[in-house]
Structure 1
């Protein structure tokens, strides 16, 4: 019983963590196209991790990451939805 309680106690903080998102700017050349987007990021929730994850995702689709604007939790999604348009949670 102690083992079960300890296991549950260790799992609760991980389950309680909020999702992580990053907003970013990317480009595609010839012809030049720019976009602003929002993407969900896996842990750890920091700018360096967001850059690594987004660079791979965007490169695979022919886009080049210019910069990560910010990293945020669920609370910042609503205010960025319209600005990101088609690139809201696309990558």
Structure 2
């Protein structure tokens, strides 16, 4: 009985921890605008599942609202990957 209770407690704790892990998901991407052609590299926070497909779905809408077309999601990563990408993203660091 104690084993079952302990197992349920551990399962409950892990399920509560999952949303906290998802909150620290980021993606780096490339986007463009036409007429005149403009390209940019950026880093954005991703809500929900930390996958390239989810990042692509989220970023397409965000970027389109500002006249940008998403070209590619390069990768998804956690907070540890932010610092190394900050300089490369410049003004598009966590902008969208």
TM-score interval w.r.t. the shorter chain?
Answer: 0.7 to 0.9
* Cα displacement (A) at 1:14: 2.9
Alpha-carbon distance in structure 1 between the residues aligned to 2:20 and 2:60: 28
TM-score when normalising by structure 2: 0.82
Q: Unmatched 5+ residue regions in structure 1?
A: 1-5
Q: Is 1:44 matched up with 2:49? A: yes
Q: Aligned pairs, how many?
A: 86
Q: Deviations over 1:22-79 (max 9, x none)?
A: 0000000000000000000011000000000000000000000000000000010000
- Determine the structure 2 residue equivalent to 1:82: 87
- Alpha-carbon RMSD across the aligned residues, in angstroms, is 1.8
Q: Unmatched 5+ residue regions in structure 2?
A: 1-8
Provide closer, same or farther for how the CA distance between residues 34 and 44 of structure 1 changes in structure 2, counting only shifts above 3 A. same
TM-score when normalising by structure 1: 0.86
Larger Rg: 2
Alpha-carbon distance in structure 1 between the residues aligned to 2:68 and 2:32: 6
Tell me, what secondary structure is at the counterpart of 1:90? coil
- Determine the structure 2 residue equivalent to 1:21: 26
4+ long deviations beyond 3 Å = none
